Amino acid sequence: MKKQKIYFDYAATTPLDASVLKKMMPYLKDKYGNPSSLHQFGREAAEAIDEAREKVAKFLGCKSTEIIFTGSASESDNLAIRGLVKALRRQKRAGERMHIITSSIEHKAVLETCKDLEQGGVRVSYLPVGPDGLINLDDLEAEITPETDLVSIMYANNEMGAIQPIKKIGQMIAKSNKFEEHLTYFHTDAVQAANWLDCNVKELGVDFLILSAHKIYGPKGVGVLYAKEGTPLHALITGGDQEWKLRAGTENVAGIVGMGDAIAQLNDAASLRLVTLRVKKLREKLVADVLIKIPGSKLNGPKNSEDRLPNIVNFSFEGVEGEALVLALDQEGIAVSTGSACTSSALLPSHVLMAMGLSDLEAHSSLRVSLGKYTTLAEVNYFLKVLPKIIERLRKISGR
């Protein structure tokens, strides 16, 4: 029998959409100009970037001049947070400390950046989350002081899919900004949200929002930073004048074209609704069947399905090592993950699951299944057929 090849790791990266690749190809071959060059080759490349920028701006409901292309979402997170700190530092009086509020379940691109800034004297408050993976708005309100410079809360979590109330947070910050001379800026990492949720920056009330092309069926190596007009921001990579002097370096033209095309597909609301409904249905079946068929299984993350992304589920299986489970499923041709791709080689329990109050053992026995627009019912059924047998076998081996 032909070995299965089932991809259930869309939160780690998505396949490149064939039509996106087609749009990129000319810029990898014949249209190779440097966008900074004045001649026709350069102009052609610059126009392609402008077009892509317009498409991203349309998706986010902002001006194209508010869009900065970077090399990854991690870089965009860094540029937003460090770039703001760098800009504000120049405005502060000597000895005046900076303050950032973030959550304990952010992606490492935010958490490690904040930890690094702490070394440089920035005060950082890490908000806890409940067992459902959601922050408490009262905790946030209590933490915001007249000195708070930045709130950075992710839109949706990459390990268990919890959706944070970004719009409410935006309103809370806008309210506190009304009465203060000092402004608190608001950054959200919308990498996992972009395929499913409204990312209109005005609706959300954010000053910074970041995206990654390779999570929306675009190419790897392209990130986006939305920075609201007038928001203080300094470049981290200095050199040429590219990207409004905020990110030097010759642009990844083909990648940016790919990002533009991938995001244009998300602008098609009708087809997006259909994909969302289909994936939600597959997820509901997957969750219900796993919990019924496998004793000692537990769903991690929000209980209310409206508080979670349609495509990410995270389980813990009593008496089973997550890594062993990933490898056993891989042998059956099914690609899943234990946590975020960036930390899964570290073999440390996931900081997200630990923050939600799971024990070390529960966190080590976790499995993330993430679906996408190409997932089929046949693939879900195959997974549901092999998973119980694998778990039974692994439990026998471990004697638990």
Task: Tell me the catalytic residues.
Answer: 342
**73 versus 363: smaller Cβ distance to ligand PLP:** 73
**184 versus 212: smaller Cβ distance to ligand PLP:** 212
Binding site for ligand PLP (CB under 6 A): 72-74, 107, 109, 154, 158, 189, 191-192, 212, 223, 340-341
- Please say whether the beta carbons of 249 and 237 come within 8 A: yes
Task: Provide, rounded to whole angstroms, the least separation between the CB of residue 326 and ligand PLP.
Answer: 16
Distance CA 343, CA 363 (A): 13
- Please say whether the beta carbons of 35 and 256 come within 8 A: no
Q: What are φ and ψ of residue 34, in 5° steps?
A: -85, 125
Instruction: Let me know the angle formed at the C-alpha of 261 by 256 and 265, rounded to the nearest 5 degrees.
Output: 145
Tokens of 308: 């979670």
**176 versus 311: smaller Cβ distance to ligand PLP:** 311
**213 versus 294: smaller Cβ distance to ligand PLP:** 213
Task: Provide, rounded to whole angstroms, the least separation between the CB of residue 134 and ligand PLP.
Answer: 16
- Please say whether the beta carbons of 37 and 242 come within 8 A: no
**189 versus 379: smaller Cβ distance to ligand PLP:** 189
**44 versus 243: smaller Cβ distance to ligand PLP:** 243
Task: Provide, rounded to whole angstroms, the least separation between the CB of residue 345 and ligand PLP.
Answer: 13
Distance CA 387, CA 21 (A): 34
Task: Provide, rounded to whole angstroms, the least separation between the CB of residue 309 and ligand PLP.
Answer: 11
Task: Provide, rounded to whole angstroms, the least separation between the CB of residue 332 and ligand PLP.
Answer: 24
**14 versus 365: smaller Cβ distance to ligand PLP:** 14
Task: Provide, rounded to whole angstroms, the least separation between the CB of residue 324 and ligand PLP.
Answer: 23
Task: Provide, rounded to whole angstroms, the least separation between the CB of residue 297 and ligand PLP.
Answer: 24
